[in-house]
Amino acid sequence: MKFHKEGWPSLFIVLLFSAILIGIAHYFFPTFAIAHWFAYVVSAFLTLVILQFFRNPTRQFTLGENLVIAPADGKIVVIEETEELEHFKDKRLQVSIFMSPVNVHINRYPISGVVSFFKYHPGKFLVAYDPKSSTDNERTTVVVKHKNGTEILFRQIAGALARRIVWYCKQGDVAAQCQEMGFIKFGSRVDLFFPLGTKLNVKIGDTVRGSQSVLAEI
């Protein structure tokens, strides 16, 4: 188990806050043991929250030339036909993965290919399960073109708690399946858009693991 690089600023802030809190407890309440223990417990709790949220577990990747692998940990909350108006401008099969605060929040490429489109959108911070979050919230749109010509679009979407999206890609990059492409801090969702008729291996309510669970075949 490793600690993800995106977590170091948050860990530093928590450790600094903890040091101040403990210092205040000892300075203003030198003989009040309950105040000391309160400071220790709060500090330990916050540190553990950051350590678990930014964990980067070692995993055995599931790879396959014609497989679409889950780009994130979470629960399948949407499977439906919808209009994708930003890039494809036609009907697509949408699959949405909701990421809770206890999930691993690393985002990975679902297929290998070339990043044929990328765009960052500033926006709102609606709760992740709101249908409008896919079009109104802060988000990125990433399209990877497979060597067989199939394009898979996926979006990192901020939520009410997720206030920062991190991405490591740009248009023209070569994408390797299961390679890290970004991170969403403190919970949200990832939407994927497939061609109509794509054979899915998941259903609503399924729990998936990024880099391991097979979503579809193309």
DSSP assignment of 92-152 equals EEEEEEEE-TTS--EEE-SS-EEEEEEEEE--B---TTSTTHHHHBSEEEEEEE-TTS-EE
Closest CA to 185 of 37, 47, 6: 6
Q: Which one is catalytic: 10, 112, 188, 211? A: 188
Task: Tell me the pTM.
Answer: 0.88
Collapse the DSSP code of 212 into the 3-class scheme (helix H, G, I; strand E, B; otherwise coil) and give the result.
coil
Q: Is 188 a catalytic residue?
A: yes
Helix, strand, coil distribution of the chain in percent, nearest 5: 20, 40, 40
- Tens of pLDDT, residues 1-58: 899 999 999 999 999 999 999 999 999 999 889 999 999 999 999 999 999 999 999 9
Task: Identify the band that residue 89 occupies on the pLDDT scale cut at 50, 70 and 90.
Answer: very high
- Tens of pLDDT, residues 131-160: 565 667 788 999 999 999 999 999 999 876
Taking phi over 0 as left and psi of -120 to 50 as alpha, with beta for the rest, 7 belongs to alpha
Do 194 and 93 touch, CB atoms closer than 8 A? yes
Q: What is the pLDDT of residue 185?
A: 81
More confident site: 137 or 96 = 96
How far apart are alpha carbons 75 and 187 in whole angstroms? Answer: 12
Percentage of residues of the chain with pLDDT beyond 70: 91
Q: What is the pLDDT of residue 44?
A: 97
Closest CA to 127 of 166, 99, 150: 99
Q: Which residue has the tokens 């223990």?
A: 37
Do 114 and 182 touch, CB atoms closer than 8 A? no
Q: What is the 8-class DSSP label of residue 173?
A: P
Q: Give 181's contacts (C-beta < 8 A, 6+ positions apart).
A: 71, 107, 108, 109, 142, 167, 168, 169, 175
Distances from the Cα of 206 to the Cα of 98, 156, 214, angstroms = 11, 19, 11
Residue 81, amino acid: E
